[in-house]
Every structure is written in C-alpha cells, then in structure tokens.
Structure 1
Amino acid sequence: MKRKLLACLFAPLLLLAACGEQGRELVVGTYKNEETVVFSETSVQDEADINRFIEIVEASAPIETQMEGLPDYVVTINNPEESTMELMVNIWIDEEGDMQFTRGLAGEGAFEMSPADAEEVRDLLQIEE
C-alpha cells in the first residue's frame, strides 16, 4: 500500500520534470581551446528572437573568404524536446566590427552580416564590441 501511495505521489513529479524543457533555445559559446567550447549557462528562449537570428543568418550574403583561426563565438539553436541541434553558426568578428560566419558543423561556405544585422545580433546575443 505504501509503495502504491509513493508511486502515486512521485508519478506527477516525474511527468513535470520530463516536461520542464519546452521549445527551442539559442545558446552562445566561446572556444576555451581548439577542442573545447564553453557555452553560456543562460540561453535565449524567446521564439521571436530565435526566429530573427535565423532570418539574419539565412539572409546574409555569401563571401569568397576562407575563415581562419578559431571563431570568436559559437551559436547553437537546440530543440530539447526533439533532442536535436537545429542550427550551428561559427562567428568571427574583425577589427572593424564586421561579422563573418559559417553555418553547420562542417562550416561550409562563408557569409557576412550587414552592419545593421550585426548590431542586432550583438544585442540579441549580448556580445560586447
């Protein structure tokens, strides 16, 4: 009888714990060394902000440049409900503050954000110049 009572008490708690993470999250990280990325403990969970970041990435112009060195930032959009990473972007910021990036794990192709979009991304990701 006590086991059934405990099971009835813990079952809702387990269900609530399983439902704790909802929706997508955008997380920013930096390279600690060539093999280790350290991601921020905070994430962007606002769907409008996440969708705006995706729009900027998809609308950015391709450039004929090979990115060199480790990126300044790594941005991922994760979907915990589906246990997937929906997008990965590696961002380099040059001395003038221009943002170039590659998409995906393989980093195929290079792109550049417009100055207005780069400023919006800085605000969204809370990146200091």
Structure 2
Amino acid sequence: RFCGAMRAFVEGAQGQLRSLRSQVDEVVESSRRCLDLYAEKPKTPVGETLKKFADFRKDMEEARRTNLLARVKKEKAEKRRAEKESAASAKAAKAAGAGAGAGAGEAREGEAREGE
C-alpha cells in the first residue's frame, strides 16, 4: 500500500520536476542573453544587473517628470509674455485712439472758428 502511494507521488513529482527544470533552463538562458545584450560580464550576478535596470528606470521616470515640469513652466512663461504683449499693444492702441480722437476734435474746433 505504501509503495503504491509513493510510486504515484514520484510519477507526479517527476512531471513537475521536468516542468520546473525546463523553466529554470529558460530563466538561465534569458539571463545569459540579457547579460550579453547589455554587455555585462558573464559572471555578473543577476541581482546586480537587475539593480542597474531598476536604477535606470527610476532615473528615466525622474527625468521625464523634470522635463514635463520644465515644459509646463516654459508654456506658462510664454503665455504670460503673450498676455503682456497683447495688453501693451491694446494700451498703445487705446492711447493712439485717444490721441487721434483728441486731435480730430481740435481740428473740428479750428474749422468751426474759421467758419465764423
């Protein structure tokens, strides 16, 4: 009875063991290819390589965030500059319009005096 149960267990475990060994082989091969692709030495521990990837990812996210903030700041500055320019041109146009209106009024007064 014990031998029969153990045989069934061993047969099932052998299948799982084959599957796990296959997965381990895939991981080892993937690790080797990563080390090769990123010009790491073959004896470099995987943890060290993964830490480099994590640091790189962190730096990329920080750089992206910094770039977005700089872009927003630049856009706000351009918007403020454009608003100042439009306000200045509107003020200049208003001043020119008031000056022209005053000049036209004086000219009419002069014509009226001549007509007298």
TM over 0.5: no
Which protein has the bigger helix share?
2
Which protein has the bigger strand share?
1
**Superposition TM-score, scaled by structure 2 size:** 0.28
Larger radius of gyration: 2
**Superposition TM-score, scaled by structure 1 size:** 0.26
Say which structure, 1 or 2, has more relative contact order (CA 8 Å, 6+ apart): 1
